[in-house]
Chains A and B, each alone.
Chain A
Amino acid sequence: MHPPNSTPSVASFERIVDEYQRRLYGFALRMTGNREDAEEIVQDAFVRAYRALGKMSAEQRADLRLQPWLYTITLNVTRNRLRSKRPSNVALDALADPDAILRESHEGPAQPEAIVEQNTEIALVEQALLQLPMHLRAAATLRFIEGRSHPEIAEILNQPIGTVKSHVHRAVRILRRILGPQIGRFIPEGAPDHALS
Chain B
Amino acid sequence: MRCRDVEALWDELRGECQASLKETVHSHLRACPSCQGMYEQYEGVAYCLSTLPRPEPSCDLAKKVVTHIAAIKGRLYPPIVISAVTTPVGKLYIGLKCDRIAYVSLDTGEAPEEVLARVERRLHRRCVPGESPGWLLRALESFFNTWTVDDALIDISDLTPFEQEVLRAAASIPPGEVRSYAWVATQVGRPKAARAVGRVMARNPLPLLFPCHRVVDSSGDLHDYFYGLEMKARILEMEGYRG
Binding site for B on A (CB under 8 A): 1, 3-7, 10, 13-14, 17-18, 21-22, 25-26, 29-30, 35, 38-39, 42-43, 46-47, 50-51, 54-55, 57, 116-117, 122, 125-126, 129, 140-141, 143-145, 147, 149-150, 165, 168-169, 172, 175-176, 179, 183-184, 186-187, 191, 193-194, 196
Partner of B65, one of A26, A47, A117: A47
**Least distance between A5 CB and chain B CB atoms (Å):** 5
Contact across chains for A196 and B26 when beta carbons are under 8 A apart: yes
Q: Majority SS of interface residues in chain B?
A: helix
| Cβ–Cβ < 8 Å partners of B127 in chain A | 3
**Least distance between B124 CB and chain A CB atoms (Å):** 5
A55 to B42, CA, bound (A): 44
| Contact digits for B36-78, partner A, Cβ 8 Å, 1 yes 0 no | 1011111111111110111111100110111011101100110
Contact across chains for A193 and B76 when beta carbons are under 8 A apart: no
Contact across chains for B45 and A175 when beta carbons are under 8 A apart: yes
Q: If the complex has contacts A42-B61, A144-B49, A176-B41, are A7 and B54 also in contact, measured as CB distance less than 8 A?
A: no
Q: Majority SS of interface residues in chain A?
A: helix
Which 3 residue pairs of A and B lie closest in terms of their CB atoms, listed nearest first? Answer: A183-B44, A144-B49, A25-B57
Partner of A46, one of B7, B65, B124: B65
Task: Decide if B149 is an interface residue (CB 8 Å cutoff).
Answer: no
**Least distance between A193 CB and chain B CB atoms (Å):** 6
Task: Decide if B229 is an interface residue (CB 8 Å cutoff).
Answer: no
| Cβ–Cβ < 8 Å partners of B46 in chain A | 144, 172, 193
Binding site for A on B (CB under 8 A): 7-8, 10-11, 14-15, 26, 29-30, 36, 38-50, 52-58, 61-62, 64-66, 68-70, 72-73, 76-77, 113, 116-117, 120-121, 124-127
Contact across chains for B55 and A29 when beta carbons are under 8 A apart: yes
Contact across chains for B43 and A194 when beta carbons are under 8 A apart: yes
List 12 additional contacts besides A147-B50, A183-B44; criterion CB under 8 Å: A3-B125, A7-B126, A21-B62, A22-B54, A25-B56, A54-B77, A125-B48, A126-B52, A172-B45, A193-B46, A194-B43, A194-B47
Contact across chains for B55 and A116 when beta carbons are under 8 A apart: yes
| Cβ–Cβ < 8 Å partners of A18 in chain B | 62
| Cβ–Cβ < 8 Å partners of A196 in chain B | 26, 29-30, 36, 39-40
| Cβ–Cβ < 8 Å partners of A193 in chain B | 14, 43, 46-47
A147 to B11, CA, bound (A): 12
Contact across chains for B57 and A39 when beta carbons are under 8 A apart: yes
Can you list 17 A-B pairs, Cβ within 8 angstroms, ordered by A? A1-B113, A6-B77, A17-B61, A18-B62, A46-B65, A125-B52, A126-B52, A129-B49, A144-B46, A145-B52, A169-B11, A172-B11, A176-B44, A183-B44, A183-B45, A193-B43, A196-B40
Partner of A117, one of B7, B11, B53, B124: B53
| Cβ–Cβ < 8 Å partners of A29 in chain B | 55
Closest to A147 in B: B50
A147 to B52, CA, bound (A): 12
Contact across chains for B49 and A140 when beta carbons are under 8 A apart: yes
A196 to B40, CA, bound (A): 8
| Cβ–Cβ < 8 Å partners of B125 in chain A | 3
| Cβ–Cβ < 8 Å partners of B124 in chain A | 4-5, 55, 57
| Cβ–Cβ < 8 Å partners of B64 in chain A | 43
| Cβ–Cβ < 8 Å partners of B113 in chain A | 1
| Cβ–Cβ < 8 Å partners of B58 in chain A | 39
Closest to B72 in A: A47
Partner of A21, one of B40, B61, B69: B61
